[in-house]
Amino acid sequence: MAFVDTHTHLYDEAFASDADLAVLRAGQAGVKSLIFPDIDSSTRERMLSLASAHRDSVHVGLGLHPTSVNEGWRDEIDAVERLLETEKAVAIGETGLDFWWSREYQTQQLESFRIQMEFALGKGLPVIVHSREATEATLKAVGQFRGQGLTGVFHAFSGSIETFREIEKLGGWYVGIGGVLTFRNASIADTVKDIPLERIVLETDSPYLTPVPHRGKRNESAYIPLIASRLAQIKGIDISEVEEVTTRNAERLFGLQNIPDGRTDIGQK
Ligand SMILES: [Zn+2]
């Protein structure tokens, strides 16, 4: 048994000098599987090459991040669609809605999100959902696919228990819990008491949202046990139970048990 970091951007510029080492440090910390969510074409090559160098432990999502939806969004979506034909992805995303970032492309964000959920259904993949200041719109957008078998994760979940109940109604969805759980007075620490472990996956969102005691510094996947430990403390259970259940959740959601060896490299014929 081992941990899964279901949301980590170790291919980010923040790891320009030590991305490979960060993957290895995660493994040493017991974080055996990592999922890299996609952002856009500007960072994708780096993501795929890092994943390819660590194919035993790293899996990728393919998609267009809502903060990267701008005038060129359709070309970006087309690129994702083409890549899905050749590249082994375990999820679509991250996609979703970010009205905190900007409402300028609100309509396009919604359309991009909807198209990517169609991709997910077509490919039988889960969706990695990013939602910021857009809870209602996100739930509505996902709700339009209810009953069609679409599943996924609401990453960096910080909503209320009422919002979780709405997510629960979608059927088969998970919430991603990360470093914010370790912050003093974080409301999610209260909410998570009422969220069944069976619906939780762990994530760091590296290089952001660094857990205590490293808060303020760069986050990395090796810190997953700090989040697991806090979750165990809040729920009054052993960390091994958190490990077992959240890993099983992640493996089930992303189909990590059935990943065949060898990923098709980008550009390969
Ligand atoms: Zn992310």
Task: In whole angstroms, give the CA distance from residue 183 to residue 197.
Answer: 20
Spacing, Cα 46 to ligand 1 middle (Å): 15
β-strand pairing of 127-132 with 152-154? parallel
Supply the CATH classification number for the domain 3-258.
3.20.20.140
CA–centroid distance, 73 to ligand 1, in Å, is: 18
What's the CA-to-centroid distance between 71 and ligand 1, angstroms? 21
pLDDT of residue 263: 42
pLDDT at 45: 97
Q: What is the pLDDT of residues 162-201, one digit of tens each?
A: 999 999 999 999 999 999 999 998 999 999 999 999 999 9
- Cβ atoms < 10 Å from Cβ of 235: 16
pLDDT attached to residue 265: 41
Q: Please name the residue that has the structure tokens 């259970």.
A: 237
User: CB-based burial of residue 183 (10 Å sphere; 0-12 exposed, 13-18 middle, 19+ buried)?
Assistant: middle
Give the pLDDT of residue 259.
Answer: 53
Strand order across the beta sheet in which 200-202 lies: 3-5, 31-36, 58-62, 91-98, 127-132, 152-154, 174-177, 200-202
pLDDT at 257: 78
- Domain segments of the chain as ranges: 3-258
DSSP annotation string for 189-245? HHHGGGS-GGGEEE---BTSSPPTTSTTS---GGGHHHHHHHHHHHHTS-HHHHHHH
Report how far ligand 1's centroid is from the alpha carbon of 37 (Å): 6
Across the chain, mean pLDDT equals 95
Distance 246 CA to ligand 1 centre (A): 19
Question: Ligand 1 mean position to 64 CA, how many Å?
Answer: 11
Instruction: List the chain residues with pLDDT less than 50.
Output: 260-269
Strand pairing partners for 201?
A: 176
Amino acid 87: pLDDT = 95
What residues contact 216, with CB distance under 8 A and at least 6 apart? 210
**Cα(66) to centroid of ligand 1, in Å?**
10
CA distance linking residue 4 with residue 19, whole number of Å: 17
Centre of ligand 1 from the C-alpha of residue 185, in Å: 23
Ligand 1 centroid–CA 94 distance in Å is 7
Amino acid at 134: A
Q: Kindly give the distance from the C-alpha atom of residue 4 to the centroid of ligand 1, in angstroms, as a whole number.
A: 15
In the block, tokens 């050749």 appear at 86
